[in-house]
Amino acid sequence: MRVGQNPAKYVKSVIKPERITVAVLNYIPFLSGFYTEALDVLKVCLNSARKDAGLPFDLLVFDNGSCEEAKNYLINEQDEGRIQHLFLSEKNLGKGGAWNIMLAGAPGEIIAYADSDCLFYPGWLAESVKLLETYPNVGMVTARPFRTNPDFYTSTAAWGAKNASLKRGQFIPWETFLEFDRSIGQTDEEIKKHYESSEDVMLEYNGVQALAGASHWQFTARKEVLAKFLPFDMDRPMGQVKQLDQRMNNAGYLRLMPVKPFAMNMSNTLRSVPGIDPTGSDKAVQHGQRRLLLDLPPVKKVLLSLYDAIFRWYYDRPAAK
């Protein structure tokens, strides 16, 4: 038998979510080795997303089975009102599994997704939504120009050739190109060869320029469009996320980037990010001589291969029956 009346009956209104949800996916299993700086990187990611985005939004974070330190930080951020929606998964569901939950559960009609190592620049969200709403039939907008696989934007190029001004050439400045490709572990020699052997596809529609291409590591899209590609059936934590890029292109949606960078990939360290020091000390620039040795290509290749093997031994084992 019920005792008393539920006080919620007397609530006359509820707070409506913002039109845009910024959704960040995080995974920090421990704070050592590859993940030594991962929590600092996450803090910079969230702070930069909130600073001068250009449009209001609610922040959603999906934590994919991180360590206690990372979870405690996120819980405190929500308690302080800096995260509106927080999902804490007991286990790592992989990126596909996390996408199935967070992209379907985000309350906004527009979702701006990012991996937790993404650094945002002022105006990033406003610029992304501008492209999303200026061009027709847009599937996704990534807030930084870089050269993606041309096979993944054939629909964009074909549409642009018929309906917009389209040019091919070297439109991404070398410095901008170099900065991003360095962040994903390529050598300067490899980057130079890539730059000289590839091109950009520039579109202009209703007076707004954009580059063809986008990527799963950061994108802004309409929720109703993303829903057409859910659920994602991926049997590995990573490595299969290009499904979204491929399937969206095959469905005929445009995939676009602004001509100027509004985001950057930090990867797993803050050392290469100008002006970033989350601790207020000189932590990010310590051990310079040691870093020079560790970053030598032969040394780096051997150590990362060893680390990858150890990580797989401990964290990529089949679940017990």
Print pLDDT tens along the chain (321 aa): 767 666 666 566 678 899 999 999 999 999 999 899 999 999 999 999 999 999 999 999 999 999 999 999 999 999 999 999 999 999 999 998 999 999 999 999 999 999 999 999 999 999 999 999 999 999 999 999 999 999 999 999 999 999 999 999 999 999 999 999 998 888 999 999 999 999 999 999 999 999 999 999 999 999 999 999 988 876 655 556 788 899 999 999 999 999 999 999 998 888 767 666 544 333 433 433 344 455 556 666 677 677 667 766 765 655 443
Element containing residue 252 per DSSP (H, E): none
**What residues does each domain of the chain span?**
20-265
Amino acid 116 reads S
Instruction: Note if the bond before 173 is cis, omega within 30 degrees.
Output: no
Q: What is the pLDDT of residue 13?
A: 64
Residue with token string 């797989």? 312
Read off the pTM: 0.83
Structure tokens given for 171: 């439109």
- Is the domain covering 20-265 a CATH 3.90.550.10 domain? yes
Rounded to whole angstroms, the Cα distance separating 102 from 100 reads 6
Nearest to 93 by CA among 114, 62, 60: 62
CA dist list (Å): 257 to 17, 29, 98, 117: 27, 32, 24, 19
Q: Is 165 helix (H, G, I), strand (E, B) or coil?
A: strand
Q: What is the pLDDT of residue 279?
A: 45
Rounded to whole angstroms, the Cα distance separating 10 from 51 reads 37
Rounded to whole angstroms, the Cα distance separating 53 from 55 reads 6
Q: What is the pLDDT of residue 292?
A: 45
Q: What is the pLDDT of residue 185?
A: 82
Coarse DSSP helix, strand, coil percentages of the chain, rounded to the nearest 5 percent:
40, 20, 40
